[in-house]
A and B are shown apart, each in its own frame.
Chain A
Amino acid sequence: MTLRYARRYAPLVTMPITVPAYGKEAAGRLASMAAVTADDGALRRFLHGLPGVDAVGLEARAATLGTRSIKTTAKAYAIDLALSMIDLTTLEGADTPGKVRALCAKGINPDPTDRTTPKVAAICVYPDMVATAKEALGDSGIHVASVATAFPAGRAALPVKLADTRDAVAAGADEIDMVIDRGAFLSGRYLQVFEEIKAVKEACARPDGSAAHLKVIFETGELQTYDNVRRASWLSMLAGADFIKTSTGKVAVNATPPVTLLMLEAVRDFHAATGVQVGVKPAGGIRTTKDAIKYLVMVNETLGEPWLTADWFRFGASSLLNDLLMQRQKLSTGRYSGPDYVTVD
């Protein structure tokens, strides 16, 4: 679809120079696609003109990639890479500053017995915990990600969602994880979803001209069909998403390999059409090293090297970290330890 859509909708026919979704150049690239987002009808025609997804074939491809055997040096590399890509998350009603500080300490120094362990990418919290996390992380370089826009349901008026976002940004959030309005999406009001993402993106701007990076959560477990996931991916990227993210972790079905593979393919095609590089974040349900490695294999064989960094791929997870640490210890010592040899936070 890539070049066809590029030819049809954008002046960028040959593979354009890559620009990051959060950079200033990206806005110009998106503007070149303005024709497809001009009104509800145009956007609908575009999204419904995307190639369909054959569920059986997609799932088979994800399963085959899952059979890759990652051993020894490749495994060590993958474990450290996965560690560095974690958005270490606590999103509970019971969160307290103490709990958030403990999580931050763990993110900075995941394995107290081995200081060579990479630190995580970000700590992901609710907006009211951003200031606490920011302070606890200090100059560690770890980002603070905040969910916003009436997470996880997203069932609030737009001004409330925007206030929620501005609040988190003002408190120091480096990244905002917003949820789309699934109700609007499922009832076909694509432009409404599009405009909402654009508005949130604007709310991510800071007074100094910089902006928090925006991750857009689809809640793929509620969108249900793969066709919907592909449409949501394009819609969000056209609206300026810096990252597209599968799930909140709050519903029955969260990230799955086929859904993530499909989003990686959408990112690949969007990049081929516009040159804009967008990141992907599967979240929820990824608990083991084995699972994490399967996702990295998918990234490697779908998007390749440029996406194999924490700038462009993240895991939204909490329990994954300890499993990665245990596997890392196993690789360095040759022995399996146990859950008492990693910290519980």
Chain B
Amino acid sequence: MTFEYAPAPESRSVVDIAPSYGLFIDGEFAPAADGKVFKTVSPSSEEVLSEVAQATTDDVDRAVKAARKAFEKWSALPGAERAKYLFRIARIIQERSRELAVLESLDNGKPIRESRDADLPLVAAHFFYYAGWADKLDHAGYGPNPRALGVAGQVIPWNFPLLMLAWKIAPALATGNTVVLKPAETTPLSALFFADVCRQAGLPKGVVNILTGDGSTGAALVAHPDVNKVAFTGSTEVGKAIARTVAGTDKKLTLELGGKAANIVFDDAPIDQAVEGIVNGIFFNQGHVCCAGSRLLVQESVQDELLDALKRRMQTLRVGDPLDKNTDVGAINSAEQLARITELADAGEAEGAERWAPACELPSAGYWFAPTLFTGVTQAHRIAREEIFGPVLSVLTFRTPAEAVEKANNTPYGLSAGIWTEKGSRILWMANKLRAGVIWSNTFNKFDPASPFGGYKESGFGREGGRHGLEAYLDV
């Protein structure tokens, strides 16, 4: 007999998904102007979860007008009053965290262990953190009485739907802005549930507006002439298009885009923990993480033992039902993303890298990709240069610290990096040389609302989180 874990599914009954949802404008749900809808499916089963409205240009205009109307009163409220709403939202999120975690796993495909233990606690923490800033803006380092910008148009991705919403909305509201937010096309539900949280918290109408839709809705939102601030998290390609749209206007812009982070392991690293960090770096959230450690740079002298240990560890990853509490790796978010991952992985093989994946049975329905490792990857391979945004790790080697820095920086991106060594002085030396917004030492994918997050180069500009995150929403 073997120790087989019996299924341990989290109950779906804690979340009540309506068959259809409208747009959340001026405190009310309403259908799109032309009545168009689209379906959102669960990527682990392809089951249709609900139908949501496809917002048109008219809807965008209506939402921006509602936000503009609400802005006058909202921005004039004393900071301590705005803080009360944010604290209330944070507490409601904590109270409803199980429901929201199940919803997020259903709509996104991520394992419940992550939505429960990472996403939701961070979402609440972000609102708590910025609630604390609301009445202390005079002391944030931007001079006395810093002013809000106005209406913020925010477009967020599908990888951490609710967490990215929190990163956008919490600082915007704390600083006195009002918001029109568009969640990703494949993961609209948690934003719509957040609309309900806003109503429950008694947030004044129009302060937060949620528009569901596809790329055209997002494009209309960022192009709207009465939007003062555009914040976008997503692909570099779309980010560039937004930058072109916004160019020549007085809109303030922050972009948090792609990444191809180097996770650098030296021969004196704590090997077991480095292996955990590598696994967490690339297989957390199925690798759908902009700061994922998708390039493993390992010192040649330790390459064999590290890869042996990594492969052994990857064999214990449990891939499957996102709602099972013992699942480590869930479903790929969409058929489109699965096709992109498959295409890049095939390119890796075609270009001569060696592909390895543990034996694992993937469910027949839904979108799945086994955790995959490529060895023998060089800087010239596509899988070393392009963001895969999936559970695919490219392994490269280096001989000296200088070479590690050179290779790590040799990418158009610069969002994050990891350093694994027991030598403290080397960590500091490396951190100064690496051109990346976030450097983790002897850990990876650790987030905290007090810590600013953002990129260099094509990974975008502007910072979210911490005191720095306030600047993006203040007229300074």
Residue of A nearest to B302 (CB): A4
Identify A67's interface contact among B2, B325, B443, CB under 8 A. B325
A305 at the interface (CB under 8 A from B): yes
B305 within 8 A of A: yes
Of A73-81, A144-152, A317-325, which stretch is located at the interface? A73-81
Q: Are A61 and B276 in contact (CB under 8 A)?
A: yes
Asked whether B200 is an interface residue with its Cβ less than 8 Å from the other chain, the reply is no
Nearest B residue to A272 by beta-carbon distance? Answer: B308
CB pair B325–A52 under 8 Å, yes or no, is: no
A301–B6 touching, CB < 8 Å: no
Interface flag for A3 (CB, 8 Å): yes
A243 to chain B, nearest CB (A): 20
Cβ contact of A68, chosen from B5, B302, B308, B443, cutoff 8 A: B5
Q: With an 8 A cutoff between CB atoms, is A72 at the interface?
A: yes
Q: Would B1 and A77 count as touching, CB distance under 8 A?
A: yes
A71 to B326, CA, bound (A): 11
Q: When A2-B308, A3-B304, A69-B326 are in contact, do A265 and B3 touch as well, CB less than 8 Å?
A: no
Which B residues lie within 8 Å of A72 (CB)? 6
CB distance from A67 to the nearest CB of B (A): 6
Chain B interface helix/strand/loop/mixed? loop
CB-based contact B3/A2 at 8 Å: no
A4-B302, A52-B422, A56-B442 given as contacts; is B325 within 8 A of A74 (CB)?
Answer: no
A252-282 residues at the B interface, CB under 8 angstroms:
265
In the docked arrangement, what's the CA distance between A39 and B6, Å?
A: 50
Once bound together, how far apart are the Cα atoms of A272 and B313, in whole Å? 14
> Does B27 make an interface contact (CB < 8 A)?
no
The reply to whether A58 and B6 form a contact with Cβ atoms under 8 Å apart is no
A60 within 8 A of B: yes
CA distance A308 to B3 in the complex (A): 8
Judge if B271 is at the interface, Cβ distance under 8 Å. yes
The 8 Å CB contact of A53, one of B1, B273, B277, B305, is B273
User: Which of A53, A74, A81 contacts B5 (CB under 8 A)?
Assistant: A74
User: Could you tell me which residues of chain A, from 1 to 23, have a CB within 8 Å of some CB in chain B?
Assistant: 1-4
Which of B1, B7, B271 counts the most chain A CB atoms within 10 A? B271
Count of B residues near A, CB < 8 Å?
Answer: 30
Q: Shortest Cβ distance from B375 into chain A, in angstroms?
A: 15
Does A54 reach chain B (CB closer than 8 Å)? Answer: yes
Which chain A residue has the least Cβ–Cβ distance from B272?
Answer: A265
CA distance A296 to B1 in the complex (A): 14
Q: Are A73 and B273 in contact (CB under 8 A)?
A: no
What 0/1 pattern do residues 116 to 135 of A give for CB contact below 8 A with B? 00000000000000000000
Within the assembled complex, what's the spacing in Å between the Cα atoms of A261 and B105?
29
Closest CB in chain A relative to B311 CB, distance in Å: 12
Q: Is B17 an interface residue (CB 8 A)?
A: no
| B35 lies within 8 A of chain A by Cβ | no
Judged by a CB distance under 8 angstroms, whether A57 is at the interface is yes
A189–B268 Cα distance when bound, in Å, is 24
- CB-CB under 8 A from A209, the residues of chain B are none
B394-444 with Cβ < 8 A to chain A: 422, 442-443
Contacts of B325 in A (CB 8 A): 67-69
Known A81-B3, A296-B3; contact A58-B308, beta-carbon cutoff 8 A? no
Contact A78 B270 (CB under 8 A): no
Q: How many residues of A contact B (CB 8 A)?
A: 31
Looking at B3, B6, B7, B309, the one whose CB has the most chain A CB atoms below 10 A away is B3
**Given B8, B273, B326, which contacts A54 in the complex, CB threshold below 8 Å?**
B273
In the bound assembly, the distance between CA atoms of A85 and B7 in angstroms comes to 25
Q: Which residue of B lies closest to A261 (CB)?
A: B272
Identify the closest chain B residue to A81 (Cβ). Answer: B3
For B309, what are the chain A residues with a Cβ–Cβ distance below 8 Å? 2
Task: Judge whether A4 and B305 touch: CB under 8 Å.
Answer: yes
A288: CB under 8 A from chain B?
no
Whether B269 sits at the interface, judged by CB under 8 Å, is yes
User: Would A51 and B3 be within 8 Å (CB), given that A1-B305, A71-B8 are in contact?
Assistant: no
Interface residue ranges of B316-370 to A (CB < 8 Å)? 316, 325-326
> Please, which residues of chain B bring their CB within 8 A of the CB of A300?
3
Interfacial chain B residues near A31, Cβ < 8 Å: none
Q: Which of A58, A69, A71, A305 contacts B3 (CB 8 A)?
A: A305
Query: Which listed residue, B6, B268, B272, touches A71 by the CB 8 Å rule?
Result: B6
B276 with A60: CB separation less than 8 A: yes
Instruction: Establish whether residues B3 and A54, one from each chain, have CB atoms under 8 Å apart when the complex forms.
Output: no
- Please tell me if the beta carbons of A53 and B270 are within 8 angstroms of each other in the complex: yes
B268 A52 Cβ-Cβ under 8 A: yes
Q: Once the chains bind, are A75 and B443 in contact (CB under 8 Å)?
A: no
Chain B residues, Cβ within 8 Å of A3 = 304-305, 308
**Which one, B5, B273, B304, B326, contacts A61 given CB within 8 A?**
B273
Q: Known: A1-B271, A53-B273, A57-B277. Contact between A73 and B442, CB under 8 A?
A: no
Give the distance to chain A from B441, nearest Cβ to Cβ, in Å: 10
- Nearest Cβ distance between residue B93 and chain A, in whole angstroms? 21
> Could you write out 6 A-B pairs with CB less than 8 Å apart?
A56-B443, A68-B326, A71-B8, A73-B6, A308-B2, A308-B3
Contacts A1-B271, A69-B326, A71-B7 known; list 14 others, CB within 8 Å: A2-B308, A52-B270, A54-B270, A54-B422, A57-B442, A67-B117, A69-B8, A70-B5, A71-B8, A72-B6, A73-B4, A77-B1, A300-B3, A305-B3
Q: Which 7 A-B pairs have the closest CB atoms?
A: A57-B273, A69-B8, A69-B325, A54-B273, A54-B270, A74-B6, A52-B422
